[in-house]
A and B are shown apart, each in its own frame.
Chain A
Amino acid sequence: MDQPSLAGRFLDELRAIVGARHVVSHPEDLLVYEYDGSIDRRAPLAVILPASTQEVSRVLALAYREGVPVSGRGAGTGLSGGAIAAPGGIQIGFARMNRILEVDTVNRTATVEPGVVNLDLDMHAHKFGLRYAPDPSSQRACTLGGNIAENAGGPHCLAYGATTNHVLGLEVVLEDGAVVSLGSLARETPGYDLRGVFVGSEGTFGVTTRIVVRLLPLPETVKTFLGIFPDLDSACTAVSAIIGYGIIPAALEMIDALSIRAVQNVMDAGYPPDAGAVLLVELEGLREEVEDTSREVEAALWEGGAAQVQVAEAAEHRAKLWLGRKNAFGAFGSIAPNYFLVDGVVPRTKLTQVLRQVSEISQRYAMPIANVFHAGDGNLHPIMLFDERVPGALEKALAAGGEILRICVEAGGTLTGEHGVGLEKKEYMPLVYTPEDLAAMKLARDAFAPANRLNPGKIFPDGQDHPPSPHRAAPGLYA
């Protein structure tokens, strides 16, 4: 596609499918499609905004014919570069496919288009006394299509499981434009569970155009505890104590001192500025059940060495505590212009040890590293804070992130809990998988996308590191 006339003809055909207004192709406009929520950047050839499955199918068939790679784009909140276009590739954006098509209150399911925002679905379900449980911290903006691609998690996935546990059926368009259905409304599907392998395939298997999800009834009682600790170690001890009581809270989240500072810079979430760490613990269920478990949770928090324990039952108070947690990543903008976040998972018993090693890395690299994470399932989010305009800073952040991932794997954990591999972590895959493992994964992909036209260059190590940052490129690109 390097001849401009070819590209021009291709774009005209795309315009004929979705309408000229829904093809973004001017280089100045594409500047706003070169990033997602993370550090990698590359502008697509064009962004196509279809309105229906048919349009998606025709766009894919056309791109297939022309040999143009395609990446899906939801809200672009991804944290592994998943939505970044392949060189010369186009993005299909789902901002116009954002309707909630149906809520079935009897079977407790919802049918939605992929561009529906996670929180919009949840709020809509509330009207029927139901909820959509997976709640990534980005839920205010991220889309169901993106959630499925990344198998997104969230604080409440500790009790309810990640996205894959809530997806019943999918309509998917394959790389050549064929439309297929995966899974079904029934719990058991005869034959292969293709829905299961599709969720978390990071947009490399197919493009999701319609989704059936499970809804759950809203809990009768919700209670949130804020445990305030002098340091990270004691908060980790409290996590072990809670698990030791055999309790699985609805959510169990850790916020360290640096993250508390970032959050409190922007809003008052009610976290004490001098705390070494806070734990957010949430219990949900029937009133008596919650009351019983409450006593044990409080005891565990004190046992861990809490300096103070607050209980929030009023919806407003709970919302404030949670808003702080959910805003944490963004709030780092108040401390440094850029963050690089890794998403390693470790066994809960290794939390204390691994966090100490992270702190050692932070000192060695002279780079602040914050920790705000899903403590209940050992899903760390060490966040390197830096300024990409300082020469070498980005490389340093990447190196520190790499070391941390290695430590996670050595501790018996893995590379990513919920943000996906994408561009960012593909070179680390050999840390957890043998060449045979990776070959098996490729076979699965080839079964769905033999020509590898969907989101190529992601997940599998290929020796091609991050695309160069335009901030380090020569200025005057389009001026």
Chain B
Amino acid sequence: MSLNAGSGFTGVDAPSPADLSRCVHCGLCLSACPTYTTLGVETESPRGRIALMKAVQDGRVGITPRVVGHWEMCLQCRACEAVCPSGVPYGRMMAATRAQVRTQGRQSAMVKGAGRLLLRGALPHPRRLRLGAGLLRLYQRCGVQWLVRSSRVLRLLPGGLAQLEAALPALSRSFFGPSGETHRALGEKRLTVGLLSGCVMPLMQADTMRASVRVLILNGCDVVVPLGQGCCGALNQHSGDLEYARRMARRNIDVFLAAGVERIVTASAGCGASMKEYHELLQDDAEYAEKARRFSELTMDITELLVSLPFAAPTARLERRVTYQDPCHLAHAQRITAPPRAILQAIPGVELVEMEQASMCCGGAGIYSAVQPELSGQILERKLGFIAETGAEVVATANPGCMMQLEQGLRRKGSTARVCHVVDLLDEGYRGEE
């Protein structure tokens, strides 16, 4: 019996029948899904999106604009995957589904445009990004931004782009980047780690990158930021551009394995999640499958690494009321929830106040806030409410996308709460000792 007779999926990058049949439509994922709990329709639920994949596979429905719309509405936050009792690998199923949508030319115009402009055109090209960011910094600093924001220009932009403009955080004063040099461990050396520089972090959150280097060397790590590395390719993978994501993965694998490091570390949850899954992405690549497996095994989130060392608690006090936002790709994709909290709680004076639904997505989700501005905004709104209830003066998280989204939301609300990375606070704790 052919299971795939009349299937609307073709080629290799398609959700596998084995993955699809693992979903027993029990519905236990519904209450974890931000789009379902916001919109209340099952077409925007994990089970519904999988049912549509199955329906396409069974030839019951085509890859129609309607069906694509429901898939594109997914944040790929993977909250459903983390609670699924059956272990349905939703993340890779959705990536493969989007690959089908993409190769069959069925993407919505918005997603297609964003893919071309950002995912292929900008993020993978450090030099282009740097140049663009340099111009943008000029734009933000010299007052033109004020002019644009207060003028009518913004109104002429399509909704998503205007939202994106609003989301632009102030760029870092000086950028961070791969140098190839080794930052030497202070005190007794324990490990040599390779740090992922990434695409947006060195431009938008260069201070966090520098804080990452400092906390690592303070805890006995030699830190290398190997030259030649690039963007991790996570956003390409999420959007279904698997071919390009593989290209980017191969480059990083070559660079980091050649650097001879004992661990590969990232301060970006989204990058870490995708790097830990390079082995899945490249499993059919005869030359790279094995190397990818090694690379994935070496990869650790910075909070995970610090706790495993273990890190030294700062001794100086940092009186702060802090709440922690779990990045989806840390909590759900990597199932890391305790280490960031352990770090925050180890800083004397920090009072960690849990917000409600801390691991519910903030609506940032890569380019989601640009391509689905309305729903992204609704999801963010709910998050901001929970943050406000805690009365926290600092919102700590562990992913650049979440930092930008929360920053943007809080500023718009006129909140004075500060957004930072967990390692920023740890670094401040250490610096208080000096």
Taking Cβ atoms with an 8 Å cutoff, the residues of A that contact B are: 24, 26, 28-29, 31-33, 35-37, 47, 49, 75-77, 93, 95-96, 98, 117, 119-120, 138, 140-142, 265-267, 326-334, 337-339, 387, 389-391, 470-471, 475-479
Contact = CB atoms under 8 A, between A and B. Distances in A.
A339 B24 contact: yes
B48 interface: yes
B24 A387 contact: no
Contact of A478 (B47, B62, B83): B62
Interface in B58-94: 58-62, 64, 66-67, 70, 83-88
Contacts of B62: 478-479
A49 B51 contact: no
B31 A338 contact: no
B45 A329 contact: no
B331 to A, nearest CB: 15
A138 B27 contact: yes
Nearest to A78: B27
Contact of B51 (A24, A31, A140, A328): A31
Contacts of B84: 266, 330
Contact of A140 (B31, B36, B59): B31
28 contacts: A26-B66, A28-B67, A32-B42, A32-B45, A32-B48, A32-B51, A36-B25, A37-B25, A37-B27, A47-B41, A47-B42, A49-B40, A76-B30, A77-B27, A93-B41, A98-B40, A141-B31, A266-B87, A327-B85, A329-B24, A330-B85, A333-B26, A391-B1, A471-B58, A475-B6, A475-B59, A478-B61, A479-B8
B142 interface: no
Interface residues of B, number: 43
A389 B5 CA distance: 12
A470 B51 CA distance: 12
A141 B85 contact: no
B67 A331 contact: no
A425 B399 CA distance: 50
Interface in B1-29: 1, 3, 5-6, 8, 21-29
A49 B41 CA distance: 8
B88 A333 contact: yes
Contacts of B22: 333-334, 337
A24 B70 CA distance: 13
Which 4 A-B pairs have CB atoms at the shortest separation, nearest pair first? A330-B85, A333-B86, A95-B40, A327-B85
Contacts of A142: 27
A49 B84 CA distance: 25
B321 to A, nearest CB: 20
B271 interface: no
Nearest to B59: A475
A329 B87 contact: no
B43 interface: yes
Contacts of B298: none
B52 A32 contact: yes
A264 to B, nearest CB: 11
Contact of A389 (B3, B29, B87): B3
Contacts of A391: 1
Nearest to A26: B66
B161 interface: no
A76 B24 contact: no
B55 interface: yes
A163 to B, nearest CB: 18
A330 B40 contact: no
A328 B28 CA distance: 12
Contacts of A326: 85
B28 A266 contact: no
B25 A476 contact: no
Contacts of B51: 31-32, 35
B91 to A, nearest CB: 15
B24 A96 contact: no
A31 B26 contact: no
B21 A387 contact: yes
Given A31-B52, A330-B26, A477 B43 contact: no
Given A266-B86, A328-B85, A476-B60, A141 B5 contact: no
Contacts, number: 140
A441 to B, nearest CB: 28
Contacts of A478: 60-62
A117 B24 CA distance: 20
A334 B8 contact: no
A476 B6 contact: yes
Contact of B27 (A29, A76, A93, A120): A76
Contacts of A31: 51-52, 55, 60-61
Nearest to A79: B26
A29 B60 contact: no
A470 B60 CA distance: 9
A332 B24 contact: yes
Nearest to A119: B31
B430 to A, nearest CB: 30
Given A32-B47, A332-B86, A141 B30 contact: yes
Contact of B28 (A77, A93, A337, A387): A77
Given A28-B67, A389-B3, A330 B86 contact: yes
A431 to B, nearest CB: 27
Given A93-B41, A333-B21, A337-B21, 7 more contacts: A26-B66, A31-B51, A47-B42, A93-B42, A95-B41, A330-B84, A389-B21
A93 B45 CA distance: 14
B42 A76 contact: yes
The winner among A33, A120, A265, A387 for most chain B CB atoms within 10 A is: A33
Contacts of B47: 32, 76
A3 to B, nearest CB: 25
Contacts of A330: 24, 26, 28, 84-86
A476 B27 CA distance: 26
A333 to B, nearest CB: 3
Contacts of B23: 333
B374 to A, nearest CB: 12
A119 B30 CA distance: 13
B60 A477 contact: yes
A333 B24 contact: yes
A216 B28 CA distance: 25
The winner among A339, A391, A475 for most chain B CB atoms within 10 A is: A475
A434 B62 CA distance: 49
B48 to A, nearest CB: 4
B66 A140 contact: no
Contacts of A75: 27, 30-31
A334 B3 contact: no
Contacts of B5: 475
The winner among A95, A98, A328, A387 for most chain B CB atoms within 10 A is: A95
A326 B86 CA distance: 11
A479 B27 contact: no
Nearest to A34: B51
B85 A329 contact: yes
B31 A120 contact: yes
B18 to A, nearest CB: 9
Interface string B85-107: 11110000000000000000000
A17 to B, nearest CB: 16
A132 to B, nearest CB: 15
B137 to A, nearest CB: 42
A389 B29 CA distance: 24
Contacts of B26: 37, 77, 138, 329-330, 333
A333 B32 CA distance: 19
Nearest to A330: B85
The winner among B32, B43, B70 for most chain A CB atoms within 10 A is: B43
A24 B32 CA distance: 22
Contacts of A36: 25, 27
Nearest to B84: A330
Nearest to A38: B25
B61 A479 contact: yes
A332 B32 CA distance: 20
Contacts of A267: 87
A479 B41 contact: no
Contacts of A98: 40
